[in-house]
């Protein structure tokens, strides 16, 4: 029959075994294989065959669900059925489920497609069995009958290229596009290898390859070289065996329009384009969020010390997957009811209660993404500073899990606590996880930028004190230096860093002292002077004594001159030779020494 009728439904087969005359239920997007309008398959006299000779090769840069679905020619209605798991995919249609979840990966898809023939039922065949048709319509088991089938095939070659931080995305993209467009021109030598240049071979080695095919192929290619060989064999393979083609596109006619008396009622209903677009946008935003969370997690994977932040992101990433499954299951329940007319499409608005990605939240979400990106960059700076001192252990697990593994008398532990276990802004968006998803949501939650100028400066200073103290006590055998992350929830939501000293496993009061202030002199004579200094700005309560070092201009090596008996801030130094001297001060605690002060001015 004519495929131009406005009432005709045209859909992609997606690997499903369509046959002419087969019944179809549009409401559930299911084939009805056990019931037919005929007692046997339509004979050839009722089938028109139109041979085709069409093939095409196109290159795309695409990855999202919607983009992959568009490559497969899927309309918006069928996209929803795929999302709702009403349609089981096979052959090349499985491409739709392959979405790369990393934004530092370039994905190229080379699509090779052919159209071989169209088979169409004649109207004589369709109209000749009115009694059986009326019986099926009354049973409400189907909505359409398959009238036309386009036979062909597609194969999708998927190429992924991982980008390093310093690579220019656009330049790499352009060079690979030019390279892939040459796939038809590569020659295969007698030894089975490709005739290509060295730089082309190196470029090919940077690509990982996958294949989704409607055609029967002996092995699934995984390298560019294998794909070139398969690509060049395709034309020969297809022309040698017409059975290699499968149903690709199907036209179906509504059963109710076959009623010659026009008494039958339409038993299916279409969802509006606006609603279809709205739901697909929700799933695209969900996919985008999953990519973002996955990439943030990947950024943290090399910094195992920040396990709490990574766990927070993993929790929300897992919740996104739960939300996606919930949305798909909800969609599976709603679509057949709406398409059958037993429920209004307005019920689909319930889907948006699970994940608030409305336009009003988009900018706030973008701000949060930028905040998290900046936070991770700051974490990298912390990590880089801490690992310069190799006697500092960066823990990737709970301190309680490993505390007993350290046998030293003292453990000085630095705790970074800037991440909340549950992010207040994300909790607004992830309404699916609230017990009452209909309750009003506070749309004015402000992101807590813990790294504001004042707080970040304070945190950086405390980390520097810790690193400095570890450096000046590197050779002390009785102390371990440990850094780990905990949730801010365990510190009354105070976002900063905290140091704790453990003596034989028991936490005791201790503040890491900074270096004493630069010393100065009074009462200077030929052979003596009085040296004064100020206590450290931070942690002076931990100081028990001070060490005084000196050096003269003829020997620049520092020597310990004396140690005070207490925390006095001045000392008389007698018996000096007539030379030029400098002095510096170092605080002493019961576990180790502070950094030394800046040297005094030259005296003498």
Give me the helix-helix angle, 169-180 and 198-205, nearest 10°: 110
Q: What is the DSSP letter of 39?
A: S
- What span, in angstroms and rounded, lies between the C-alpha atoms of 178 and 438? 52
What is the per-residue pLDDT for 183?
87
Q: What is the DSSP letter of 179?
A: H
The region that residue 602 occupies, defined by phi over 0 for left and psi between -120 and 50 for alpha, beta otherwise, is: beta
Give the model confidence (pLDDT) of 4-38 as tens digits.
457 899 999 999 999 998 999 999 999 998 888 77
Q: Which is more confident, 344 or 103?
A: 344
β strands within 343-467, DSSP E: 392-394, 410-419
Mean pLDDT within 549-570: 91
Mean pLDDT within 447-475: 92
Q: Given pLDDT bands bounded at 50, 70 and 90, which one contains residue 395?
A: very high
Q: Which residues contact 380 (CB under 8 A, 6 or more apart)?
A: 303
Give the model confidence (pLDDT) of 53-67 as tens digits.
888 889 998 878 888
Percent of the chain's residues with pLDDT above 70: 90
Contact 421, 492 (CB under 8 A): no
- What span, in angstroms and rounded, lies between the C-alpha atoms of 593 and 181? 66
Mean pLDDT within 434-451: 57
- Nearest Cα residue to 419 out of 371, 367, 483, 364: 371
Q: Which is more confident, 36 or 276?
A: 276
> Which overall architecture, per CATH, does domain 520-596 show?
Sandwich (2.60)
Q: Given pLDDT bands bounded at 50, 70 and 90, which one contains residue 553?
A: confident
Neighbours of 171 (CB within 10 A): 9
Residue 440 pLDDT > 50: no
β strands within 457-567, DSSP E: 479-487, 496-503, 506-508, 520-522, 529-532, 545-552, 555-563
Share the mean pLDDT of the chain: 87
Contact 584, 519 (CB under 8 A): yes
Mean pLDDT within 575-589: 92
- What span, in angstroms and rounded, lies between the C-alpha atoms of 241 and 227? 20
Least confident piece of the model among 100-104, 204-208, 378-382:
100-104
- Nearest Cα residue to 255 out of 243, 270, 265: 265
Q: Which is more confident, 428 or 596?
A: 596
What is the per-residue pLDDT for 126?
60
* Region(s) of the chain under CATH 2.60.40.10: 520-596
Q: Which is more confident, 1 or 167?
A: 167
Least confident piece of the model among 134-138, 165-169, 201-205, 327-331:
134-138
- What span, in angstroms and rounded, lies between the C-alpha atoms of 496 and 491? 9
Contact 383, 416 (CB under 8 A): no
Give the model confidence (pLDDT) of 443-457 as tens digits.
555 666 899 989 999
Residue 398 pLDDT > 60: yes
Q: Is the pTM of this model over 0.85?
A: no
The backbone torsions φ and ψ at residue 114, rounded to the nearest 5 degrees and listed phi first, read -135, 155
Give the model confidence (pLDDT) of 347-388 as tens digits.
998 877 766 676 677 888 888 999 999 999 999 999 999 999
């Amino acid at each position: 029959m004519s495929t131009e009728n406005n009432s005709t439904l045209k859909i992609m087969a997606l690997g499903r075994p369509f046959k002419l005359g087969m019944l179809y239920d549009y409401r559930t997007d299911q084939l009805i294989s056990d019931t037919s309008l005929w007692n046997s398959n339509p004979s050839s006299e009722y089938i028109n065959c139109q041979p085709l000779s069409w093939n095409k090769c196109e290159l795309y840069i695409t990855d999202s669900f919607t983009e992959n679905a568009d490559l497969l020619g899927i309309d918006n209605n069928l996209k929803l059925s795929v999302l709702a798991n009403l349609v089981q995919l096979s052959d090349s249609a499985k491409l739709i489920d392959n979405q790369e979840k990393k934004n530092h990966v370039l994905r190229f898809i080379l699509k090779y497609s052919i159209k071989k023939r169209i088979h169409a039922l004649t109207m004589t065949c369709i109209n000749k069995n009115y009694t059986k048709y009326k019986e099926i319509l009354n049973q409400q088991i189907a909505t359409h009958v398959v009238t036309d089938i386009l036979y062909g095939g597609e194969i999708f070659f998927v190429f992924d290229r991982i980008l390093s931080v310093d690579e220019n995305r656009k330049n790499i993209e352009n060079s690979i596009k030019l390279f892939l467009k040459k796939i038809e021109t590569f020659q295969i030598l007698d030894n089975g290898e490709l005739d290509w240049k060295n730089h082309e071979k190196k470029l090919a080695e940077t690509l990982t390859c996958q294949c989704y095919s409607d055609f029967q192929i002996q092995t699934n290619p995984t390298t560019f070289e294998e794909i070139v060989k398969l690509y060049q064999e395709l034309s020969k393979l297809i022309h040698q065996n017409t059975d290699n083609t499968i149903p690709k596109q199907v036209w179906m006619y509504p059963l109710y329009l076959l009623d010659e008396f026009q008494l039958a009622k339409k038993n299916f209903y279409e969802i509006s384009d606006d609603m279809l677009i709205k739901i697909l946008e929700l799933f695209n935003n969900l996919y985008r969020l999953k990519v973002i969370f996955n990439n943030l997690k990947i950024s943290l994977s090399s910094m195992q010390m920040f396990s709490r932040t990574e766990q927070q992101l993993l929790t929300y990433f897992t919740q996104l997957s739960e939300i996606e499954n919930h949305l798909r299951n909800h969609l599976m329940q709603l679509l057949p009811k709406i398409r059958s007319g037993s429920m209004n499409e307005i019920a689909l608005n319930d889907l948006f209660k699970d994940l608030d990605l409305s336009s009003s939240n988009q900018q706030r979400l973008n701000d949060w993404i930028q905040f998290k990106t900046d936070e991770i960059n700051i974490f990298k700076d912390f990590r880089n500073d801490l690992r310069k001192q190799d006697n500092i252990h960066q823990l990737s697990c709970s301190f309680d899990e490993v505390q007993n593994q350290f046998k030293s008398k003292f453990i000085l532990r630095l705790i970074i606590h800037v991440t909340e276990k549950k992010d207040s802004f994300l909790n607004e968006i992830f309404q699916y996880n609230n017990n009452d998803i209909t309750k009003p949501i506070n749309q004015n939650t402000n992101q807590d930028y813990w790294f504001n100028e004042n707080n970040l400066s304070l945190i950086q200073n405390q980390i520097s004190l810790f690193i400095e103290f570890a450096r000046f006590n590197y050779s002390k055998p009785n102390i371990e230096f440990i850094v780990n992350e905990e949730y801010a929830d365990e510190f009354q939501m105070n976002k900063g860093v905290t140091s704790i000293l453990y003596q034989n496993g028991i936490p005791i009061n201790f503040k890491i002292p900074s270096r004493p202030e630069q010393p100065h002199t009074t009462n200077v004579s030929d052979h003596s002077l009085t040296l004064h200094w100020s206590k450290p700005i931070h942690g002076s309560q931990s100081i028990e004594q001070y060490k005084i070092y000196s050096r003269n201009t003829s020997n620049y090596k520092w020597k310990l001159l004396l140690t005070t008996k207490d925390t006095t801030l001045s000392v008389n130094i007698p018996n000096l030779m007539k030379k030029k001297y400098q002095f510096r001060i170092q605080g002493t605690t019961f576990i180790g020494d502070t950094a030394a002060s800046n040297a005094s001015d030259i005296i003498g």
